[in-house]
Amino acid sequence: MVHEYQNLRRVYLGIVIGLFIILVARLAYLQIFSWDTYYRESERNRVRDVVIEAPRGLLLDRNGEIMVDNRPAYSVSVIPYEFLESQSATSLLASILNESSVELVKAVRKEKIGNFSAVKVKRHIDFSVLSSIEEYRLDLPGVFYAVDSKRYYPAGIRAPHLFGYLSEITRDELSQVEDREYRMGDLIGKNGIEIIYEPYLRGQSGVKYIEVDVLGREVRELPELAGSSPQSGKNLYMTIDADVQRYLEKAMEGKRGAAVVLDPSNGEVLAIMSKPDYDPEIFSNPLTPEIWSALINNEEHPLYNRACQSLYPPGSIYKLVLAAAGLETGLIELEETVTCYGSYRLGRRQFKCWKEKGHGEVNLLDAIQQSCNVYFYKKGLDVGLANWSKFSRFFRFGSKTGIDLPNEGSGLVPDAVYFDAKYGVKKWTRGLTLNLAVGQGELLTTPLQMAYFAMIVGNEGTAFRPHLVRKIEDPNTGESIEPGRERRQIVGISKSTYRTIKQGMYLVVNGPHGTGRASWVRGLNVCGKTGTAQNPHGNSHAWFIGFAPKDNPKIAFCVMVENGGGGGAVAAPIARGILTTYFRDNQLALGQ
Amino acid sequence: MSAIRNFDVGLVIAVVLLITFGLTAIYSATYVGEKQTEFTKQLLWAVLGLVVLTAVVVTPLKSYYKNAYLLYGLSVILLVVVLFVGKGAGTRRWIALGPAWIQPAEFAKIGTLLALSRYLSNEHRKLDNLRELTVAFAIAFVPLALVMKQPDLGSALVFLALVLPVLHWAGLSPAILFVLLAPLASLLSAFNYYSFLIVMILLSVTFLLCQRGLTFFLVNFIINIGVGILTPIVWNLLKEYQKNRILTFLGLVRDPHGLGYQVIQSKVAIGSGGLLGKGFLDGTQTHLRFLPEQHTDFIFCVIGEEFGFIGVFLVLALFFYLVVKGIRISTSVKSKFSSVVVFGATIIFLFQIFVNIGMTVGIMPVTGLPLPFLSYGGSSLLANLILVGLILNASRKRFEYL
């Protein structure tokens, strides 16, 4: 056997040597003899993968009007390999973009991943920049511009607190996202609907392969290398009524404040507004420290979402909660009256009513209609802090409503435990209760919570989670999902209590002495409550909440104007505008 | 310890160096920034593979002999299973076991090798009769056919390439070998009447010279004519892309924008590397993800472009060392079974190396065969390490009869 093997061994060793010599020879031919041919070729025909961004989903109002759309925009990108090598490219591009070349190079070095992946250096460039880049192509190796898209707002509604905006993903965010779908330079939703519904709105990018020359300029597309088509993001049919929203944009212009309008039958948010706001476009390009600090330090705090993030004392509208607590516990009787002489004395202090001369003898319905403080001061003491806190919590004050917007505030419902902690046990007095009775003091709510409360009263005990999207549609397949409504039953308060409060609210708008008559609408049984919340920094905050019509309400709302003055004078007229706008276009709603 | 004595350290070092080259190339080829999933996966497979290799080395050779047919049977079953539940882009090549996907074809190579070796090492084997030859071919052709069905032409060819040299090694006479190879000549010349005529004449003369009688001559003659007639028919049954691959390779179809594109880019990448290469992570062609198989079938291009002729020569030297070692070991072991196993494993390596590198430099058609130890792929790496384990095992025990 051994001898046979010797022969065989020689044969096969010979074959092996032969094969390897062939390979080595061929490689030497390619890499040594033909090196310059292939090197030149490699300089000429390189392949790049280009990401094709998918169109982002649109936001439409409840009637199908497009509120947030996409529009083509140009952006400038560089391929680090060619760009950083060239002195002329870096300084020329920097001057075209009006930036310092040192900063530009630093940013590219910092953002790049490898030398061959494109880095976006500026988005949404204008035409003059584009034409300069085109003109100086030959001196800008590695620089190219491409079309992508930016958001625009065809319905005339900017509402950055509602919609949010798009901005480039940061390295931190990139590491948190599991999906390899995101790359540096991608836009991601920040704030508002754009961030909450990011997974739906963002489509799936496609990729195509192009051949580029040594300067990184596209030579031709390569269809033979199979790329992939982009998939559009899903469109959101929102619950917003664009007409109401537009009305609020105008009505609140120049003011500071918020408005929230809900459909009480399902919790759909018909409008939500916070002013002042800002131009979301400032976030398209990386913020300079100057712009950012200008925003943060702006005294008007435009970044706050006053509708659901900021907290305010609600003032007189909160008297309704006390009324509910009293009726339910039997500590308030309908016919019982209190005489208001303009102030109430507790200990050594005088607590004023807003009408100097007093309201005279008033029962519950009168007190609600005319918003008498004295009645509620007295009843506040009768009902007591514990009951008041308990019923506040029944109405879900102090908790978030669960709306699909980020950073919702929960508000604050103080109770004995809270005051003990804050002031010390037995170091606080019933005077605090008095303040809370009229919605002042440590009590804090959001306008959203107040609209939610209006919904509860209007529905006589049923609440629905406020939500902003009624349908999510995939434009690629036509399939859609509807999130539907989420019902929550409010316990602890009986129908008769609700009916009484409703009657009081009806009188606020329709009664002869109602403080909210400015929101009266013919043929619509509007119910409401005014609030004028004092605050130490200036004028009172003007509040008005309500719903309409009285039975089976179709709309519930809250309007708040910061430092606006009287609720009846300032906020109620805006509410009227909401109602006329909504019902003018909704004959169906009025008919019922 | 006898476990350490006779252990061929050189071989292990060579393999580890090759794997390292592979990891480096994979890192570069799949570089997208922070996440390096392919590199990490390959590293994990390598570690697992080395553990498995150790297990393979310490298992007594007798076990392989005893279980050869069993292992063969299992691998065939897996090949059948994958045809039903397999995944792959338009093919059924992988079985998904959670995060790991395994490729039965790779392991079937081992099973087939063991079964074939066992069958051929039987002391009563004469290998000069039809029955024995049929069995031998059947052992190889069953998995070949199953793999072809996936379809995976490249891997199927490995089975074919395995069978003839192994038979030769096991004692097949050159005459019979010739008889078996003759149809290949017929096949290749069947596309042209004149070339076919010339080849038939040459073959017929040689058959006569074998002096084995009329039956012998007639049978062979008919077989070769038959192949010549059947080939054009089979050609027309081939899928379009398969035809194109072959034609492009032969240079009969110039399609620089289609299938030829891959090979052109491959040559450009390698050629432009020059003597010293462009440097790690600086390969312009590599980094452009021009081939979806860049980190698998065309991994050699990365070495060529980034490390130049020096790098490529080193890799080839390591492969050369591996193959020559294999042949040496297969001639120095005492048991026939071990000898055939080692030889067969070496042939598997040789075939894959030559076909893969040949493809990247344009002297072989594009077949999708991975390059041992370098291409990304857990199953391939693991299977190849098992084969190395078998070689090491045999080498340790070379003084023993089975």
Q: Which amino acid is at A219?
A: V
CB distance from B276 to chain A under 8 Å? no
Q: What is the mean pLDDT of chain B?
A: 83
The token pair at B146 is 């199953």
Q: How far is B222 from chain A (nearest CA, A)?
A: 30
User: Is pLDDT larger for residue B102 or for residue A448?
Assistant: A448
pLDDT reported for residue A239: 96
The token pair at B181 is 């190879």
Of residues A32, A46, A224, nearest to B284 (C-beta): A46
Confirm if A580 and A587 have CB atoms less than 8 A apart.
no
Q: Mark out the alpha helices in A315-430 (DSSP H runs).
A: 319-329, 364-370, 373-394, 416-423
Q: Which residues of A touch B284 (CB under 8 A)?
A: 42-43, 46, 81, 116
Beta strands in A158-256 (DSSP E): 165-168, 187-190, 206-212, 218-221, 235-238
- pLDDT higher than 50, residue B39: yes
Confirm if A388 and A433 have CB atoms less than 8 A apart.
yes
List the single range of A92-101, B150-159, B176-185 with lowest mean pLDDT. B176-185
Q: Which amino acid is at A454?
A: A
Phi, psi angle pair for B174, to nearest 5°: -55, -35
Grade residue B1 by pLDDT with cuts at 50, 70 and 90.
very low
CB distance from A31 to chain B under 8 Å? yes
User: Is pLDDT larger for residue B68 or for residue B247?
Assistant: B68
Positive or negative torsion for Cα A212, A218, A224, A229? positive
Confirm if A258 and A275 have CB atoms less than 8 A apart.
yes
The token pair at B356 is 């893969």
pLDDT reported for residue A1: 46
Query: Which residues does residue A351 pair with via DSSP β-bridges, in sequence order?
Result: A344
Q: How far apart are the first and last CA of chain B?
A: 20
Q: Give me the helix-helix angle, B193-209 and B214-237, nearest 10°.
A: 150
Rg (CA), chain B: 22
pLDDT reported for residue B49: 93
CB distance from B314 to chain A under 8 Å? no
Would the CB atoms of A116 and B288 count as touching at under 8 Å? yes
Q: Give the whole-angstrom CA distance, residue A119 versus residue A79.
A: 6
pLDDT reported for residue A114: 66
The token pair at B296 is 């698998």
Q: Which residues of B touch A81 (CB under 8 A)?
A: 284
Would the CB atoms of A42 and B285 count as touching at under 8 Å? yes
Rg (CA), chain A: 33
For B129-148, what is the mean pLDDT? 88
Interface of B with A in 168-197 (CB under 8 A): 168-169, 171
Cβ neighbors of A112 (< 8 A, separation 6 or more) are A80, A119
Q: Give the whole-angstrom CA distance, residue A60 versus residue A235.
A: 8
- pLDDT higher than 50, residue B373: yes
Contacts 24+ apart (CB under 8 A), B147-153: B147/B79, B147/B105, B147/B108, B149/B83, B150/B82, B150/B83, B150/B86, B150/B88, B150/B91, B150/B92, B150/B93, B150/B105, B151/B91, B152/B91, B152/B93, B152/B105, B152/B368, B153/B242, B153/B367, B153/B368
Grade residue B114 by pLDDT with cuts at 50, 70 and 90.
very high
Phi, psi angle pair for B45, to nearest 5°: -60, -40
Cβ neighbors of A484 (< 8 A, separation 6 or more) are none
Confirm if B372 and B384 have CB atoms less than 8 A apart.
yes
pLDDT reported for residue B255: 54
Structural domains in chain A, CATH included, are 48-238 (3.90.1310.10), 242-291+306-591 (3.40.710.10)
Q: Give the whole-angstrom CA distance, residue A198 versus residue A343.
A: 54
The total of other beta-carbon atoms located within 10 Å of residue A136's CB is 15
Q: How far apart are the first and last CA of chain A?
A: 105
Q: Give the whole-angstrom CA distance, residue A215 versus residue A226.
A: 24
Q: Which amino acid is at A391?
A: F
Q: Which amino acid is at B18?
A: L
Interface of B with A in 67-96 (CB under 8 A): none
Q: Which amino acid is at A460?
A: E
Beta strands in A242-366 (DSSP E): 257-263, 268-275, 338-340, 343-346, 349-352, 360-362
Q: Give the whole-angstrom CA distance, residue A448 versus residue A436.
A: 19
CA A18: distance to chain centroid? 71
Of residues A30, A175, A209, nearest to B271 (C-beta): A30
Phi-psi bin for B216: left (phi > 0), alpha (psi -120 to 50), beta? alpha
Q: Which residues of B touch A41 (CB under 8 A)?
A: 268, 271-272
Q: How far is B170 from chain A (nearest CA, A)?
A: 9
Q: How many CA atoms does the CB half-sphere of A79 hold within 13 Å?
A: 24
| C-alpha dist (Å) from residue A419 to A335, A380, B4, B308 | 33, 17, 79, 78
| C-alpha dist (Å) from residue B382 to A339, B7, B19, B209 | 93, 20, 11, 47
Sheet holding A218-221, edge to edge: A46-52, A206-212, A218-221
Q: Give the whole-angstrom CA distance, residue A340 versus residue A372.
A: 8
User: Is pLDDT larger for residue A501 or for residue B189?
Assistant: A501
CB distance from A25 to chain B under 8 Å? no
CA A193: distance to chain centroid? 5
The token pair at B376 is 């990304």
Omega before B256 cis (within 30°)? Answer: no
Virtual torsion, Cα B159, B164, B170, B176, nearest 10 deg: 150
- pLDDT higher than 50, residue B242: yes
Q: Which residues of A touch B32 (CB under 8 A)?
A: 113-114, 117
The token pair at A252 is 């609140």
CB distance from A182 to chain B under 8 Å? no
User: Is pLDDT larger for residue A6 or for residue B47?
Assistant: B47
Grade residue B368 by pLDDT with cuts at 50, 70 and 90.
confident
Would you give per-residue pLDDT tens digits along chain A (592 residues)? 455 677 788 888 999 999 999 999 999 999 999 998 888 877 766 777 777 888 899 999 999 999 999 988 888 888 887 888 888 888 899 888 888 888 888 888 887 766 777 788 888 888 888 899 888 888 888 888 888 788 888 988 889 999 998 888 877 787 777 666 777 777 888 889 999 999 999 988 888 777 776 566 677 777 766 678 888 999 999 999 999 999 999 999 889 999 999 999 999 999 999 999 888 878 877 777 888 888 888 888 888 899 999 999 999 999 999 999 999 999 998 888 888 888 888 888 888 888 888 888 889 999 999 999 999 999 999 999 999 999 999 999 999 999 999 999 999 999 989 998 988 888 888 888 889 999 998 999 999 999 999 999 999 999 999 999 999 999 988 899 998 899 999 999 999 999 999 999 999 999 998 999 999 998 889 999 999 998 888 888 999 999 999 999 999 999 999 998 888 889 999 999 999 999 885 554 555 4
The token pair at A295 is 């925003």
Number of H helices, E strands in chain A: 21, 23
Q: Which residues of A touch B327 (CB under 8 A)?
A: 9, 12-13, 16
CB distance from A427 to chain B under 8 Å? no
Q: Which residues of B touch A6 (CB under 8 A)?
A: 331
Q: Which amino acid is at A199?
A: P
Q: How far is A280 from chain B (nearest CA, A)?
A: 30
Residue (of B354, B348, B355, B356) closest to B330 by Cα position: B348
